[in-house]
Amino acid sequence: MKIAIGSDHAGLKLKELIKKSFEEYDFIDVGTHTEESCDYPDYAEAACMKVIEGEAEKGIVICGTGIGISVAANKVKGIRAALCFNEFMAEMSRKHNNANVLALGARVIGDDLALRIVDRWFNSEFEGGRHQRRVDKIGKIEEK
């Protein structure tokens, strides 16, 4: 599975840890590649466009708190980015919301928890059914 992944400077170390810890996935790293201060919207957009254009099946975006990068990611039409702070949120974001992008806050969760969140997110599938109706409604809001 191809995963687009991007972070600002605050998320760089966690991004590299995720890539190393999940070597079975093919990561498309859209940056950043240094700890020099940079702007998270640039990396949110780059990762999300890989998902929208079909180059990646899912995406992961990371900044200090996860808030800014998740807000930016959700501005990309067709993206359903979920900011998750625990494994349950990650699972439900896939099962009920069909989230196609996971947002993480590198400064607010530890590395071990972050890896468990990513693992749960990767291993949870959309349930469809009544949840599809709700996801469709989100798409209709996006069209306005």
pLDDT tens-digit series, residues 19-37: 999 999 999 999 999 999 9
Average pLDDT value over all residues in the chain: 98
Verify whether residue 63 is a known catalytic residue.
yes
pLDDT at 41: 98
* Structure confidence at residue 127 as a pLDDT band (50, 70, 90): very high
Q: Which residue from 28, 36, 29 is spatially nearest to 10, judged by alpha carbons?
A: 36
Distance CA(110)–CA(51), nearest Å, equals: 26
Q: Quick one: CATH architecture of 2-143?
A: 3-Layer(aba) Sandwich (3.40)
Verify whether residue 84 is a known catalytic residue.
no
In contact, 78 and 50? CB cutoff 8 Å: no
Decide: residue 1, CB within 10 A, 0-12 exposed, 13-18 middle, 19+ buried. exposed
Mean pLDDT of 72-101: 98
Residues 6+ apart with CB under 8 A from 104: 11, 14, 60, 61, 62, 66, 83, 84, 114, 117, 118
Q: Which residue in 9, 38, 48, 63 is the catalytic one?
A: 63
Radius of gyration of the chain, Cα coordinates, nearest whole angstrom: 14
